[in-house]
Structure 1
Amino acid sequence: MTLNPMLSLASPGWLWLLVPVALLAVAYLVQQARRSRYSVRFATLPMLERLVPKQPSWRRHVPAVLLLLAFVGLSVAAARPQIDQEVPRERATVIVTVDVSLSMEATDVSPDRLTAAREAATSFISGLPDGFNVGVVAFAGTATVLAQATPDHDAAIAALDRLELGRGTAIGDGVLTSLAQVEAAGQAAGTTADGEPVPAHIVLLSDGTNTAGASVEQAAAAAVDADVPVSTIAYGTENGTVVVDGETVPVPVDQPSLDALAEATGGTGYAAETADELDQVYENIQTSIGYRTEQRDITPWWIAGSMLVAMLAAALSLAWFSRLP
């Protein structure tokens, strides 16, 4: 049972304890109503003013309300409340896959698409946990492994300096080559402490449509079979152009096909039209890959909070009326 995006209950059946708490609240209200009618029936108002000292009437209700709140808190505690908590991953494999087709020379992103992509990928790799295997794959007409997936992040960053433009856009081959790197890294890494395979993720940046090699559909099917999500970044604007053989050629971004690849593999499709937006996208991906969500039991906190509220009710009752509620 989920109460909100962060809080859930492991044993919601215990919430039935709220029923007697509600009945107790109703009984209190009924008792207060009867008390008022009784006082008016058997005493005149001038006599009541002489017999009952003047004090704020709301004080009479504060201890009771606090006590009821404490009962509510203890009822929720019995249902074992839990919250989602982000925990850093100790190990994972991340393949940074970069499009180096001629369209990446477009200057609609300053200073050009490829340079901005290289700088953002460098920051992305630098921010990944030390225990992560990181590899770099570049693709134009074919795909090339520039850095094998290892914990040597400096080698992966250095590989980004070797990105060179080429003709064609083999997105499918880029994914398949990245999957091969994931498999090789997985065989070397073994399993996690839980006995599960080391999780992997492919982060693919491109600005165009698949024009060579394996189809995107074939690559997506292979990624699904390997249980490796592919998050895509559609990079550039609709107005990008490059000069090829003396002719100006428009190179708009094909975001729909990249989004389809991400959706089919369980990844996330992103779009970035500026270097700052690309930095933000990589930061979001870094957070999603670097952490996993675990549920943390917060029952002791609810019990402690409820006890404090109950003790506050007792303290106020003693201070104001010299008795416990």
Structure 2
Amino acid sequence: MSISHFNAPIWLGFLAVVALIVLGYVLVQRGRHKQMLRFGNMELLEQVAPARPSPFRHAPIALMLVGLIFLTIAAAGPTSVQKVPRNRATVMLVMDVSLSMEATDVAPSRLQVAQKAGKDFVDGLPEGLNIGFVSFAGTASVMVSPTTNHEAVKASIDNVKLAERTATGEGILTALQAIDTLASVLGGAQEPPPARIVLMSDGKQTVPDFNDQDDPRHEFVAARLAKTKNVPISTISFGTKWGVVHIPRPEGGTDDVRVEVDDDAMREIARLSGGEFYTASSLQELTSVYDTLEEQIGYELTRGDASRPWLLLGMLLVAAGVLTGLLRRQRLP
């Protein structure tokens, strides 16, 4: 029963009344004790009341007083910070499925680990939240439009196919288009639901040329567009600096090609869009990143009413005090 604020703190002044009741009870008990000491025949007094009074005789009044304290707190309107699902929000999971995801520097492979962590991420989001899935290699495709059917998203993650090249910018633009489509359907007269893109990639953009930063399909241009649409991009740079893929030769054999992660580009995309940048080089690290994103994206902290527990406990204690008094002394304290 945590408390962060009171809506009507003036009611806490009633605690002074409770304090006066405690003081009055103590004074009454002392007065009774003095009257007993004035009894002239001490031998007769010991015969009338041979046993020392039990301290439990104060239990009924103590229970009721504590109950009054809890009821006073409830009357003051306590509030607490509560975690509430963002059921109107939209999340687009954008996953790199270029051939570099075959690298086994993250066992058993980057792709398999990304698939498992991605599905766990979907499982951890609120049921009412709209989730979409975009995969990209040389081009980008909306595998699942934003939906509350999370099982469909997980099934699509399981069925991704690897392809050549990496068009990160197109992945972002495709996700933005899916968000706009949903907003036009759900928005109506209200503001469109808040949206976020979660982009996971392991390598450098190859389509279009990374050095042509004026191309409208460039990842940095797409990140700036996301910023204007108020859609932050949380980027995850997944893999290691020593990743290798084996490319078959036409004449036989294979070529080993290094596929280093591109932390700098992922960091810049996050910065330009107003999102956050993360790195992960194992299933544990990737899962930890997704857990953090679940808390940020799936839930919001709001201040809500917290008086009910105090009210119920106060009522129970007052009732217990009345019942104890009746059982022990056949009357109220």
Same fold by TM-score greater than 0.5 = yes
Please point out which of 191, 195, 198 is paired with 1:200. 195
SS in 2 for 1:164: coil
1:145 paired residue among 135, 141, 150: 141
Count of aligned pairs between the two proteins = 315
CA distance in 2, matches of 1:92, 1:65: 49
Q: Which residue of 1 aligns with 2:22?
A: 25
Q: Aligned runs of 1:10-89 on 2, under 5 Å?
A: 10-32=7-29, 36=33, 39-40=36-37, 49-54=46-51, 57-83=54-80
The question of 1:235 aligning with 2:238 is answered: yes
Structure 1 CA distance for aligned equivalents of residues 101 and 22 of structure 2: 68
Larger CA deviation: 103-112 vs 86-95? 86-95
- Relative distance call for 1:41 and 1:279 in structure 2 (3 A) is same
SS of residue in 1 equivalent to 2:327: helix
Report the CA distance shift for 1:180/1:256 in structure 2 as closer, same or farther (over 3 A): closer
- Computed over aligned residues only, the root mean square deviation of the Cα atoms, in angstroms, reads 4.3
Query: 2:131, 2:153 within 8 Å by CA — same for their partners in 1?
Result: no
**Residues 61 and 120 of structure 1, relative CA distance in 2, 3 Å threshold:** same
Asked if the contact 1:201–1:230 (Cα under 8 Å) also holds between the matched residues in 2, the reply is yes
2:263 to 236, 254, 257: 254
Aligned to 1:97: 94
5+ residue gaps, structure 1: none
2:251 is aligned to none
CA distance in 2, matches of 1:287, 1:58: 51
Q: Does residue 178 in structure 1 map to residue 181 in structure 2?
A: no
Contact 1:88 1:291 in 2 (8 A): yes
Partners of 1:253 and 1:67 lie apart in 2 by 66
The answer to whether the Cα contact below 8 Å between 1:259 and 1:270 also exists between their aligned partners in 2 is no
For residues 242 and 30 of structure 2, what CA distance do their matches in structure 1 show? 76
CA distance, structure 1, for counterparts of residue 11 and residue 262 of structure 2 = 54
CA change 1:11–1:127 in 2 (3 A) is: same
2:85/2:299 contact within 8 Å kept: yes
Higher relative contact order (Cα pairs below 8 Å, separated by 6+ residues): 2
Task: Give the deviation of 1:234 after TM superposition.
Answer: 4.0
Whether 1:308 aligns to 2:316 is yes
Q: Distance in 1 between matches of 2:70 and 2:10?
A: 15
Q: Tell me which amino acid in the other structure corresponds to 2:198.
A: V
Counterpart Cα distance in 1 of 2:78 and 2:272: 33
Distance 1:260 1:31, change over 3 A: farther
Q: In structure 2, what is the equivalent of residue 108 of structure 1?
A: 105
Aligned CA distance change for structure 1 residues 253 and 13 (closer, same or farther; 3 Å): farther
> Using the alignment, how far apart are the partners of 1:55 and 1:263 within structure 2?
79
**Cα distance in 2, alignment partners of residues 314 and 260 from structure 1:** 66
- CA separation in 2, counterparts of 1:156 and 1:180? 21
Q: How far, CA to CA, are the matches of 2:172 and 2:45 in structure 1?
A: 86
Q: Distance in 1 between matches of 2:47 and 2:267?
A: 82
- For 2:194, the aligned partner's letter is P
Q: Which residue does 2:274 correspond to in 1?
A: 265
Quick check: 2:92–2:132 contact (8 Å CA) kept in 1? yes
Shift of 1:110: 2.0
Amino acid at match of 2:115: R
Instruction: Quote how far apart the aligned CAs of 1:64 are.
Output: 1.9
User: In structure 2, the residue corresponding to 1:61 is in which secondary structure?
Assistant: helix
Q: Structure 1 pair 283/21, CA: closer, same or farther in 2 (3 Å)?
A: same
**Taking structure 1 as the reference length, what is the TM-score of the superposition?**
0.72
